[in-house]
Structure 1
Amino acid sequence: MKFFRTLPLAVALATLALAAVAFAGRGITVKGSDTMVILGQRWAEQYMNQNRGQIVQVTGGGSGTGIAALINGTTDICQSSRPMKQDEKLKLRDRYQTMGVEIPVAKDGLSVFVHETNPVKDLSLAQLKQIYTGAVTNWKQVGGKDATIVLYGRENSSGTYGFFKDHVLDGRDFAASCQTLPGTAAVVNAVSRDPNGVGYGGAAYTKGVRDCPVRKDAKSPAIMPTAATVRDGSYPLSRDLYFYLRKPAQGDVKKFIDWVLSPAGQKLAVEVGYYPLK
């Protein structure tokens, strides 16, 4: 009888012990860039397959959301398609006495997407600025057909949005007509259904649309985003993709990052549609 009286207590203690183990073993959390979410998930899947017992959880939400999570202490790693801003680093410093750790993990070419039937051969950075600020509103003004340009872009929490605004619009505001969408996949889907649409996003997301070559200026050659042009910087919209940490990596987080930077991790980045660091 004594055994049965103590059984509920034993079960309760065992449940608490399992819960504690589960919490302690929650694994590595990775949050941020929607551009990088598929790449991050593939990295996590292959790493877990090769390292049984390791758990890596990857979610998106945008670079800004990931950086906020890093500052708030709710993610171990932030994925970001843009560098952290100074005010974000200062928030980290105020809370953790560190300016954070920046780790480039891959390269990307920010693609300009047009419909597969769009006859426009290429666009310069100046033309893209005019299009996305509303100064140019018809495709015939940039060598296309007589049709109103329909703009698609990312939400302002996106690192891709920030990169495009800084490097193409020179910090100016997007035209009010630009339709903001939650993720590059949504932008690609919209452009693929709209013969007059134009969008931008990571080079890995090009199914159903056409990459439009980009010129640095009117006198420069039109360049497509490829491994060679992104690595050497000749493609005008080349960029690094980053992991951000609060402090230097240790333990399981360091092992995961070391694997991402290894030949196996960099090869996987290429398979997903991005470009290696070297």
Structure 2
Amino acid sequence: MLFTLGALVLLAAAALVAWRPELVLGRQEPVVRSVYIFPPAAAQAGAAWRLTGQWRAPGKQDRDEPLWAVEFKPVPDWEAPAPVLIAQGERGVEVRGTYQPAPFTREPPLKVAGSVVLADAAVEWARLALVRSGAGEVRRLPGLVPESTEVEGAFFAEKVRRSIEVRAVGTEAGLTALMSRACAMAISSRPLTAAQESSEGLQSRMVGQDALAVLVAPDNPVRIVDMETLRGIFSGRIQRWSEVGGPDIPIVVVALEPNFGTHRLFQEMVLGDLPLTGAARKAPTPAAVDALVASTPGAIGYTSLPLSKQAALVALRTEPGQTPVVPSGASVRDGSYPLVRSLFVVWRKEAPPSELLQAIFSSEGKRILERFGFLLPPN
């Protein structure tokens, strides 16, 4: 009986230690024991809490306990509860915070369209612009149309959601959208024509430089080509690799659709007045060129240098006998690589997207462009 009674006492003591250890072991209970957030939908939207204390002066502290408050994180579409002040010296507090629905006003998005090559950088520029404008929370959402991404910022004080939509539709489609006022800014992988600047009232500014990289399948031994040979390959005059010192297999030309600025520039810089061979296989995007060339025996194509991941780079020389040059940051900077292009942002002169432009040309905006593998404009 005594053994049973002792065992019960020990069990009770163990339970008390587990429930209120500070009473038995002398440890101090935390200020906040638990915080409950209602309704569950607010918690799923990102509602959270934090414990904050009062500022204390430097030097020797008095014995008074600091004042604490539980603050609740603002989230879109919900009104956060007021902070809960905890009485001085109080511990083990249980706090309940109830969020109330507070729909935000959604403003029409500022639209950006154009170069697929610049689209990912443009999405990050959009995020930066919203943060610099005071957005408390920024999130990336799939756009309402194909090839589009929406970057949305929540402005809690105004209860407004502002967003920037980036559509990767190609340079030519982006410039067309800008001229028809379907977007506020175009991202372009080629310079404006004189007519676009004058008659259409467009203004542009260079953001960076890029190289048009010529790619071949990884098992192709032909890694050096002169510009005249390249012209013959893409026009269809040269149809087998054996004609240029390679294996006796057909040449498979991979190209882009005309709506891409990359294609238009390649046409001007390489083919000139010659048409592209009618046998060319068309890639849906500049990034797809790399994958298609890498997986197709005998293939050759062109794309932006930062997008070349799997296929092999070809060194180019302007004339036979000259030193071949591989596309790289160094050869773009010194001008030795023959296929270098500039990248631009374009807007209507009477309606510049000021906050977005400021973000693009800020020091952080320039770092974003470099992070995607492009070079900044020469000073």
- With the shorter chain as reference, the TM-score category is 0.7 to 0.9
Is contact 1:30-1:79 (8 Å) kept?
Answer: yes
Task: Please name the residue that 2:210 is paired with.
Answer: 108
Q: C-alpha displacement at 1:28, in angstroms?
A: 2.6
**Aligned pair 1:84/2:192, yes or no?**
yes
Shifted more, 208-217 versus 78-87: the winner is 78-87
TM-score when normalising by structure 2? 0.62
**Aligned pair 1:221/2:329, yes or no?**
no
TM-score when normalising by structure 1? 0.83
Shifted more, 255-264 versus 148-157: the winner is 255-264
Is contact 1:28-1:56 (8 Å) kept?
Answer: yes
Distance 1:144 1:249, change over 3 A: farther
Is contact 2:208-2:374 (8 Å) kept?
Answer: yes
Shifted more, 46-55 versus 263-272: the winner is 46-55
Q: How far apart, CA to CA, are the structure 2 residues paired with 1:248 and 1:234?
A: 38
Task: Please name the residue that 2:222 is paired with.
Answer: 120
Q: How far apart, CA to CA, are the structure 2 residues paired with 1:213 and 1:49?
A: 42
Q: Which runs of 5 or more structure 1 residues have no equivalent in the other structure?
A: 1-17, 93-97
Is contact 1:71-1:91 (8 Å) kept?
Answer: no
**Alignment-mate amino acid for residue 118 of structure 2:** M
**Alignment-mate amino acid for residue 367 of structure 2:** K
Task: Please name the residue that 1:40 is paired with.
Answer: 122
Task: Please name the residue that 2:174 is paired with.
Answer: 66
Distance 1:46 1:220, change over 3 A: farther
Shifted more, 42-51 versus 32-41: the winner is 42-51
Q: How far apart, CA to CA, are the structure 1 residues paired with 2:350 and 2:229?
A: 42
Is contact 2:178-2:348 (8 Å) kept?
Answer: yes
1:30 maps to which of 112, 133, 136? 112
Q: How far apart, CA to CA, are the structure 2 residues paired with 1:166 and 1:59?
A: 25
Per-residue CA shift, 1:80-128, capped at 9, x if unaligned? 1112234544652xxxxx2x10111111001111111111121111111
Q: How far apart, CA to CA, are the structure 1 residues paired with 2:108 and 2:327?
A: 38
**Aligned pair 1:171/2:273, yes or no?**
yes
Task: Please name the residue that 2:245 is paired with.
Answer: 143
2:297 maps to which of 190, 195, 211? 195
Structure that is richer in helix per residue: 1
**Alignment-mate amino acid for residue 294 of structure 2:** S
Per-residue CA shift, 1:120-157, capped at 9, x if unaligned? 12111111100000111111222221110001101011
2:357 maps to which of 246, 257, 261? 257
Q: How far apart, CA to CA, are the structure 2 residues paired with 1:122 and 1:49?
A: 46
Q: C-alpha displacement at 1:209, in angstroms?
A: 1.0
Q: Which runs of 5 or more structure 2 residues have no equivalent in the other structure?
A: 1-102, 136-152, 154-161
Per the alignment, in what secondary structure is the counterpart of residue 308 of structure 2?
coil
Distance 1:179 1:88, change over 3 A: farther
Task: Please name the residue that 2:370 is paired with.
Answer: 270
Q: C-alpha displacement at 1:50, in angstroms?
A: 5.1
Is contact 2:223-2:313 (8 Å) kept?
Answer: no
Which of the pair has more CA radius of gyration?
2
Is contact 1:110-1:238 (8 Å) kept?
Answer: yes
Task: Please name the residue that 1:14 is paired with.
Answer: none
Is contact 2:360-2:366 (8 Å) kept?
Answer: yes
**Alignment-mate amino acid for residue 169 of structure 2:** G
Per-residue CA shift, 1:42-71, capped at 9, x if unaligned? 333344455523532211111110011001
Structure that is richer in strand per residue: 2
Q: How far apart, CA to CA, are the structure 2 residues paired with 1:248 and 1:140?
A: 56
Q: How far apart, CA to CA, are the structure 2 residues paired with 1:140 and 1:62?
A: 35
Higher relative contact order (CA 8 A, sep 6+): 1
Is contact 2:113-2:167 (8 Å) kept?
Answer: yes
Q: How far apart, CA to CA, are the structure 2 residues paired with 1:78 and 1:168?
A: 25
Is contact 1:35-1:201 (8 Å) kept?
Answer: no
Is contact 1:101-1:248 (8 Å) kept?
Answer: no
**Alignment-mate amino acid for residue 69 of structure 1:** A
- Across the aligned residues of Structure 1 and Structure 2, the Cα RMSD in angstroms comes to 2.0
Is contact 1:231-1:277 (8 Å) kept?
Answer: no
Per the alignment, in what secondary structure is the counterpart of residue 271 of structure 2?
coil
Q: How far apart, CA to CA, are the structure 2 residues paired with 1:196 and 1:266?
A: 38
Shifted more, 63-72 versus 119-128: the winner is 119-128
Distance 1:157 1:237, change over 3 A: same
Per the alignment, in what secondary structure is the counterpart of residue 126 of structure 1?
helix
Q: How far apart, CA to CA, are the structure 2 residues paired with 1:277 and 1:182?
A: 28
Q: C-alpha displacement at 1:231, in angstroms?
A: 2.2
Per the alignment, in what secondary structure is the counterpart of residue 168 of structure 1?
helix
Distance 1:227 1:88, change over 3 A: same
